[in-house]
Chain A
Amino acid sequence: MHIRRIHMELVAATLTAGIGLLAATGSLDLGVGWESSGPQPGYFPFYVGLIVLLASVASAAQTLLALRRHGQKRQEIFLEAEQVRRLASFFLPMAIFVVVAIQLGLYVGSALYLFYVAWRQGRYHPFAAVFLGLGFAVALYLIFEIVFQIPLHKGPLENMFGVY
Chain B
Amino acid sequence: MGNFGLLLDGFQIALTPYHIMLMVVGVMLGLIVGVLPGLGAPNGVSLLIPLTFSMDPVSAIILLASMYWGALFGGATTSILFNIPGEPSSVATTFDGYPMARAGQPTRALTLAFMSAGIGALAGVVVITLLSSWAAGFALRFGAPEYFAVYFLAFCAFVGMGSAAPLKTVVSLGLGLLFSTVGMDTVTGSLRLTFGLDVLIGGISFLVVVIGLFGIGEILATVQDGHKFRGLSSRIDLRDVLRTIAELPRYLTTVIRSCAVGIWMGITPGGPTAASFMSYGIARQCSKPGQAFGSGRAEGIVAPETADHSAGTCAMLPMLALGLPSSATAAVMMGGLMIWGLTPGPMLFTTKPDFVWGLIASMYVSNIVGVILVLATVPMFAALLRIPFSIIGPVIVAICFVGAYTVSSETFDLWLVLVFGVLGFVFNKLEFPIAPLVLAMVLGHKAENAFHQSMIISDGSLGVFFSNPLVGTITTLALALVVIPQAVKLLSRLRRRGAAGSAH
Does B402 lie within 8 Å of A27, measured CB to CB?
no
**Are A12 and B432 CB-contacts (below 8 A) given A26-B193, A51-B170?**
yes
Which residues from B are CB-within-8-Å of A59? 165, 167-168, 171
**4 cross-chain pairs, A with B, having the tightest CB-CB distances, nearest first:** A122-B390, A52-B174, A41-B190, A59-B167
User: DSSP majority for the B interface?
Assistant: helix
Does A48 lie within 8 Å of B452, measured CB to CB?
no
Minimal beta-carbon separation of A65 from chain B (angstroms): 12
Does A20 lie within 8 Å of B167, measured CB to CB?
no
On B, residues with C-beta under 8 Å from A are: 50-51, 54, 165, 167-168, 170-171, 174-175, 177-178, 181, 185, 187-188, 190, 192-193, 195, 216, 220, 223-224, 226, 388, 390-391, 393-395, 397-398, 401-402, 405-406, 409, 411, 414-415, 417-418, 422, 426-427, 429-430, 432, 448, 451-452, 455-456, 460
Does B168 lie within 8 Å of A151, measured CB to CB?
no
Other A-B contacts than A22-B193, A59-B171, A124-B390, 7 sampled, CB-CB below 8 A, are: A16-B171, A27-B193, A41-B192, A90-B393, A95-B418, A110-B402, A140-B398
In this complex, what residue of A is CB-closest to B389?
A: A122
Which residues from A are CB-within-8-Å of B51? 148, 150
Minimal beta-carbon separation of B443 from chain A (angstroms): 13
Does A113 lie within 8 Å of B178, measured CB to CB?
no
Query: Looking at chain A, what size class is its interface with the partner chain?
Result: 35 or more
Minimal beta-carbon separation of A74 from chain B (angstroms): 16
Which residues from B are CB-within-8-Å of A8? 426, 429-430
Does A150 lie within 8 Å of B50, measured CB to CB?
yes
The A80-116 residues at the B interface (CB cut-off 8 A) are 83, 86-87, 90-91, 93-95, 97-98, 101-102, 106, 110, 113-114
Interface membership of chain A positions 35-53, coded 1 if the CB is closer than 8 angstroms to chain B and 0 otherwise: 0011111101100110110
Does A38 lie within 8 Å of B418, measured CB to CB?
no
**Are A153 and B432 CB-contacts (below 8 A) given A27-B193, A97-B398?**
no
**Are A51 and B174 CB-contacts (below 8 A) given A30-B190, A39-B455, A59-B168?**
yes
Which residues from B are CB-within-8-Å of A42? 192
CB contacts between A and B, total, < 8 Å: 159
User: DSSP majority for the A interface?
Assistant: helix
**Are A87 and B418 CB-contacts (below 8 A) given A30-B192, A118-B391?**
no
Does B185 lie within 8 Å of A132, measured CB to CB?
no
Q: Which of A86, A98, A151 meets B224, CB within 8 Å?
A: A86
Minimal beta-carbon separation of A27 from chain B (angstroms): 7
In Å, the complex CA distance between A62 and B190 comes to 37
Minimal beta-carbon separation of A88 from chain B (angstroms): 10
Which residues from A are CB-within-8-Å of B50? 150
Q: Does A164 contact B (CB under 8 A)?
A: no
Q: Which of A55, A62, A153 meets B411, CB within 8 Å?
A: A153
Minimal beta-carbon separation of A67 from chain B (angstroms): 14
Does B405 lie within 8 Å of A152, measured CB to CB?
yes
Does B175 lie within 8 Å of A34, measured CB to CB?
no
Residue in B177, B451, B455 with the greatest tally of chain A CB atoms within 10 Å: B177
Minimal beta-carbon separation of A15 from chain B (angstroms): 9
Which residues from B are CB-within-8-Å of A51? 170, 174
Which residues from A are CB-within-8-Å of B224? 79, 83, 86-87
Does A114 lie within 8 Å of B398, measured CB to CB?
yes
Does A140 lie within 8 Å of B402, measured CB to CB?
yes
Q: Which of B195, B401, B455 meets A106, CB within 8 Å?
A: B401
Which residues from B are CB-within-8-Å of A102? 411, 414
Minimal beta-carbon separation of A4 from chain B (angstroms): 12
Does B395 lie within 8 Å of A56, measured CB to CB?
no
